Structure 1
Amino acid sequence: MHSFEGGRLRHAVLTLLLLIFIGSAHASQVLRVGYADFPPYEYSDQRGEPIGSFIEITRKVLKEAGFEAEFVALPVSRIYLYLKEGRIDFWPGLAGIPDLQDHVLESRARPIRISLRIWHTPPTPAAQTLSDLVGKRLIVINGYTYSGLIYRLTPANGFELFTARTHESALQMLVHGRGDYLLDYTDPILETLKHYPVDNLQSTVLRERLGAFLVSRKHKHAEAVIRKTDQAYESLIRRGEIRPLEGH
């Protein structure tokens, strides 16, 4: 009798340990992936589901690497914070962000290229450089650091900033004369213009940025995750399932 009960107990313990092991292994393969409102690359559809060209690349790459993606929509500033704290594991974002350099591992892969522009409408003259914006009213997007550029745009340096919550509200501010210039990326503005057209909107390129996959250093297997991500990206390129960025 005691032998039978002991056998049942051992079986129950082994089953429990196996379930814990399986659950732990599964959890280690799930990545919490942050994404921002940055159309057409990453944003939420009307149902709140993540969509966009960079999202689709990310899905393919993580699946190829053996990971399951758990997407979380966040403001850009919250993405930075959560990567630092380890509350998200992964972000399809931008390479070379100064504020994140000590907190993330960055992929070799460069899936996208984006351009940052200075937007205006006549009769306001075109601005070619940041120095042209000194003493002018400059509209910026809330939460954007523009890869660290925002830290140079201070009142002490002669800049007067006005913050917009969205790309559309930023354009509205520009149209209604609540700012002289708008600092924003090309593609989100082009997407916004599809439903909020602006007559005679003009711009000049300030700088170009490359996209990358970023992994929080707080993830216990961060180095393995970034290595598998790069390997998966390269495999998909070789098979023709992802188009390589020209020059990379």
Structure 2
Amino acid sequence: MSKPPRLLLPLLGALFCGACFAGRAPEPPQPLVKVGYYNLPPAIYADARGEAQGSLVDLTRQLLHNAGYRVSFRELPSARLYAGLIDGSVDVWPGAPGKPDLVGRTLVTEEQLAEISLNLYYRHGSPAPVFPRDLSARDVILITGYTYLPEINAALQDPTLRQHRTSTHTAALQMLDRGRGDFLLDYDQSVNQAAKELGIATPPSVQLVRVPIKFIISARNANGQKLRDDLDRAYRALRATGADLQLRKE
């Protein structure tokens, strides 16, 4: 029997391999996880172009990638973020568990990503306040759109307390510094960052509560439990490598 010409052998091999690949089903695309957030600089915030930035963004993106997911980020006001988690238009929020509207409507990871401090700031030279007693009949500066744990919200319902809201941490710190409020209720990392940007000393404060940061997952997501477990596994696997998982403070 005559052998096929030598030049035909590579062609036959290519055709054979092509037939093998043609018989394989294409790889399914990785599931897309929609991450919602509101600004909590420097951990997570939208830059001037509207892009999500910060060490919490980097960690979230890495964990979802390691777990086999694609990710998109969207900045939302807190009310719309919570509504999105409830109706399923938002899959994940890296935030604080225990929001009353989300209890029973979301799943929470076991692993804690970070912990931040909610403080009551006061002006230099003023006596340290006693919370919540000293809020009565005083002016308190708050960040627009922020919500707090029930015990903090209850104290803010004092009818004699005067609330002043602003949209940025730098503006809030300037208001306190200029005497336009007696106290500022805000998170430590955000105030430290704002003070650095303004070139002023961070005002003294009283720590009210330490707030854990975890992944909050919509219960409307059909694969919510799997997503929660995948994120926990990805976090533990990354921690086992010795990676530094501490959020940058600035």
Q: Give the TM-score category using the shorter length.
A: 0.7 to 0.9
Q: Work out the CA distance in 2 between the residues paired with 1:203 and 1:55.
A: 27
Q: Over residues 86-112 of structure 1, what are the superposed CA-to-partner deviations in whole Å (9 max), with x where a residue is unaligned?
A: 121111111333332122100001010
Q: Tell me how large the CA RMSD over aligned residues is.
A: 2.2
Q: Which has the higher helix share?
A: 1
Match status 1:96 vs 2:128? no
Q: Work out the CA distance in 2 between the residues paired with 1:231 and 1:201.
A: 40
The one-letter code matched in structure 1 to 2:149 is S
Count of matched residue positions in the alignment of Structure 1 and Structure 2: 222
Give the one of 145, 154, 164 matched to 2:166: 164
Match status 1:26 vs 2:29? yes
Q: Work out the CA distance in 1 between the residues paired with 2:201 and 2:216.
A: 38
The one-letter code matched in structure 2 to 1:53 is S
Match status 1:230 vs 2:232? yes
1:154 alignment counterpart? 157
Q: Work out the CA distance in 1 between the residues paired with 2:40 and 2:246.
A: 21
2:41 alignment counterpart? 39
Shift of 1:45: 2.5
SS in 2 for 1:237: helix
Shift of 1:76: 2.6
Identity %: 33
Structure 2 regions of 5+ residues with no counterpart?
1-24
The one-letter code matched in structure 2 to 1:229 is L
SS in 1 for 2:130: coil
The one-letter code matched in structure 2 to 1:185 is Y
Shift of 1:164: 1.3
Q: Over residues 126-169 of structure 1, what are the superposed CA-to-partner deviations in whole Å (9 max), with x where a residue is unaligned?
A: 2132222122111111111123322441144x432111111112
Q: Work out the CA distance in 2 between the residues paired with 1:128 and 1:152.
A: 12
2:57 alignment counterpart? 55
Superposed, which structure 2 residues align to 1:91-130 within 5 Å? 91-130=93-132
Give the one of 141, 144, 164 matched to 1:142: 144
The change in CA–CA distance for 1:32 and 1:151 in structure 2 (over 3 A counts) is farther
Q: Work out the CA distance in 1 between the residues paired with 2:43 and 2:201.
A: 25
2:141–2:183 CA contact under 8 A, matched in 1: yes
1:75 alignment counterpart? 77
2:200 alignment counterpart? 198
The change in CA–CA distance for 1:127 and 1:90 in structure 2 (over 3 A counts) is same
Structure 1 regions of 5+ residues with no counterpart?
1-17
- How high is the TM-score relative to the length of structure 1? 0.82
Give the one of 238, 242, 245 matched to 1:243: 245
SS in 1 for 2:41: coil
The change in CA–CA distance for 1:68 and 1:172 in structure 2 (over 3 A counts) is same
Shift of 1:67: 0.8
Q: Work out the CA distance in 2 between the residues paired with 1:34 and 1:200.
A: 29
Which range moves more in the overlay, 208-217 or 116-125? Answer: 116-125
Q: Over residues 8-66 of structure 1, what are the superposed CA-to-partner deviations in whole Å (9 max), with x where a residue is unaligned?
A: xxxxxxxxxx89xx7xx537x10110122111110123332211111111111101111
- How high is the TM-score relative to the length of structure 2? 0.81
Q: Work out the CA distance in 2 between the residues paired with 1:203 and 1:155.
A: 21
1:76–1:144 CA contact under 8 A, matched in 2: yes
SS in 1 for 2:197: coil
Q: Work out the CA distance in 1 between the residues paired with 2:201 and 2:237.
A: 44
Q: Work out the CA distance in 2 between the residues paired with 1:141 and 1:119.
A: 13
